[in-house]
Structure formats: structure tokens, C-alpha cells
């Protein structure tokens, strides 16, 4: 279930907002949460469990646990800046058919998770999701594959700095919000506005598990070269997969390449 109207917000409104108001205002442009859950995995015939868990600051969160028969591992999925987990039905289906359990969760302010989204809050939310898998479900870290799509990339990468997952997968991810702003506005002094916001490159350089970077040459939001830069920044072993399609739908447009690439990556990491 792909909703192409939801995309990484353009840099222009973020810049304008920060320039004319407070930094907190920028959150309203960076994050585009949707409260209403449009569907559940049941719509494609998958059994799932509603999961309630709590971040370290007390914020109550919500997610779905979708088990796969004869599971070969577990995916912890960090979604992008818009919508909520009900916009991930196609993604859930793909990983389920790869015989991988998947835990998708909503950041604070998204779906039925409480609170309001902030950068620091999303990091706490990912930590809480990891803790749920490891402590509540007793899943070994080495069985967990952390996946971050778009804005979920820096969230996933930051999580993996101090964890020991099986692998980290970054999909359609920017090097940092600052770099994205400078890409769109090269003649404006924007670096000081964003400082270290969602600095994926810095986080990836500290990750020491296998890393797979997936990016479309036709991504109209996050330029292809940023995916390449993340791949070059990652510690070995690392792999890069080129797909086609838009920022939001590339994984589905290039479904066969996407699936076979992830399968090959995971197989090679097991050797």
C-alpha cells in the first residue's frame, strides 16, 4: 500500500520556518505524521499482533509484530517522515515473503503512538523498539536486521552504533539534513541552521555491523550521490544496490532487484 503523496518535505519550508520562527516550528515541516491507521496486515491476509511499549522518557508507543513461518531472522523497520505504519503494507508483505519476521513501529506522534515527534524523540523510540525485541521477545541481537527508509535511515544508523545487529540496511537515505539543504540551496548559508540534524554519515561511520545501502538513480527527493556517499562511509563489509523508481516507490518498482539484492546481501554476510 503505497501513498506517493507522502514524501520527505522540501527544504524550502523548513528554511523559511526556521528563519522566521523558532526551531520547534521546523518539526512541523520535517515530520508529517498521520494519526489514522488506514489498514492493517490483515488486509493482505497476514496475522499480526498489536504491540504497546514505552520509550525511556515514558512516551507510549505502538507497533505491529508480523511473524513469518519458518523465520530466518527479524527486521526492525524504521519508516520515513510521513504517514504511519499502515502505509507499510507492501513493505511488510515483501519481508514476510522473505521468511523474515518484521516489527514496524510508529514514532511518537505518528499513528496511535503518543506525544509529538522530535529528532531526539525518534531516537528514543527506536531504542525502545530494539529493547522490546531483545528483552520482551528474547530475540538475539545477531538475529535482528535494522532497516531505515528515508528519514528512518539516520534513526536506524544511530541505533546500530551501540548495538550488535546482524546487519543495517539504509534505503533512500540522505547523508544529513544539512547536506540536503545545501544541495537544494547551494548559495545560501544553511549549514548553521541545521547543525548536526539527522547526520546519517556520522552515525554510519560508527557502525560496525554489515551495511547495505539501497538507492534509486531516479530518486527525486534524495540525490543518488548521497546513497553512494553513505556506502563509501560505511565500514567493511558493505554493499550497494542500485534500484529504479521514485523516492517513495522505488522499493516496489524494483521489487525483484530489491528482494534478490537483500537476499544476496544477507546470504553473503552469513558466510
pLDDT score recorded for residue 230: 98
Exposed/middle/buried for 151, CB within 10 Å: 0-12, 13-18, 19+? buried
Angle at 61 between CA 140 and CA 34, to 5 degrees: 125
- Residue 4 within a domain: no
Q: Residue 19 falls within a domain, yes or no?
A: yes
Q: Which of 32, 79, 132, 247 is catalytic?
A: 247
Residue 20 has pLDDT above 60, yes or no: no
- Told to judge if 219 belongs to the known catalytic residues of this protein, a careful annotator would answer yes
Whether 204 is in a domain gets the answer yes
| Residue 135 within any structural domain of the chain | yes
Q: Is residue 1 part of a domain?
A: no
CATH number of the domain enclosing 23: 3.40.50.1820
The one catalytic residue in 113, 150, 216, 254 is 150
SS (H, E, C) 86-146: HHHHHHHHHHHHCCCEEEEEECCCCCCCCCCCCHHHHHHHHHHHHHHHHHHCCCCHHHEEE
Residue 270 has pLDDT above 80, yes or no: no
Q: 254 lies in a domain?
A: yes
Give the least confident one: 17-21, 25-29, 34-38, 144-148. 17-21
Q: Is 150 a catalytic residue?
A: yes
Average pLDDT across the chain, whole number:
89
Structural domain boundaries enclosing 233: 11-270
Tell me, yes or no, whether 181 lies in a domain.
yes
Higher pLDDT, 30 or 34: 34
pLDDT of residue 21: 34
Q: Which three cell numbers stand for residue 184?
A: 537544494
If one counts the domains in the chain, the total is 1
Share of the chain above pLDDT 70, in %: 87
Q: Is 267 a catalytic residue?
A: no
| pTM, 2 dp | 0.90
Confidence band, pLDDT 50/70/90 cuts, at residue 222: very high
Q: What cell numbers appear for 99 in the block?
A: 521468511
Mean pLDDT: which of 1-10, 43-52, 188-197 is highest?
43-52
Which residue of the set 125, 201, 219, 254 is catalytic?
219
Residue 159 included in any domain:
yes
241 has which bridge partners? 214
Amino acid at each position: 500500500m503505497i501513498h506517493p503523496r507522502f514524501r520527505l518535505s522540501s527544504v524550502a519550508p523548513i528554511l523559511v520556518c526556521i528563519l522566521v520562527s523558532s526551531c520547534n516550528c521546523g518539526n512541523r515541516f520535517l515530520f508529517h505524521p498521520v494519526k489514522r491507521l488506514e489498514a492493517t496486515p490483515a488486509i493482505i491476509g497476514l496475522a499480526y499482533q498489536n504491540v504497546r511499549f514505552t520509550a525511556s522518557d515514558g512516551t507510549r508507543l505502538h507497533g505491529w509484530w508480523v511473524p513469518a513461518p519458518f523465520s530466518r531472522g527479524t527486521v526492525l523497520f524504521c519508516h520515513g517522515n510521513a504517514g504511519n505504519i499502515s502505509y507499510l503494507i507492501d513493505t511488510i508483505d515483501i519481508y514476510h515473503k522473505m521468511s523474515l519476521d518484521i516489527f514496524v513501529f510508529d514514532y511518537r506522534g505518528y499513528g496511535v503512538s503518543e506525544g509529538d515527534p522530535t529528532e531526539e524523540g525518534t531516537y528514543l523510540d527506536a531504542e525502545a523498539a530494539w529493547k522490546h525485541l531483545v528483552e520482551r521477545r528474547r530475540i538475539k541481537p545477531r538475529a535482528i536486521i535494522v532497516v531505515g527508509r528515508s528519514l528512518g535511515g539516520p534513526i536506524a544508523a544511530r541505533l546500530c552504533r551501540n548495538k550488535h545487529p546482524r546487519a543495517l540496511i539504509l534505503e533512500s537515505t540522505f547523508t544529513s539534513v544539512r547536506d540536503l539543504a545545501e544541495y537544494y540551496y547551494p548559495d545560501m548559508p544553511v549549514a548553521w541552521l541545521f547543525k548536526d540534524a539527522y547526520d546519517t554519515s556520522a552515525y554510519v561511520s560508527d557502525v560496525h555491523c554489515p551495511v547495505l545501502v539501497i538507492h534509486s538513480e531516479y530518486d527525486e527527493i534524495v540525490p543518488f550521490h548521497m546513497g553512494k556517499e553513505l556506502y563509501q562511509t560505511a565500514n567493511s563489509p558493505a554493499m550497494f544496490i542500485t534500484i529504479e523508481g521514485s523516492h517513495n516507490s522505488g522499493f516496489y518498482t524494483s521489487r525483484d532487484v530489491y528482494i534478490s539484492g537483500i537476499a544476496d546481501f544477507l546470504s553473503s554476510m552469513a558466510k
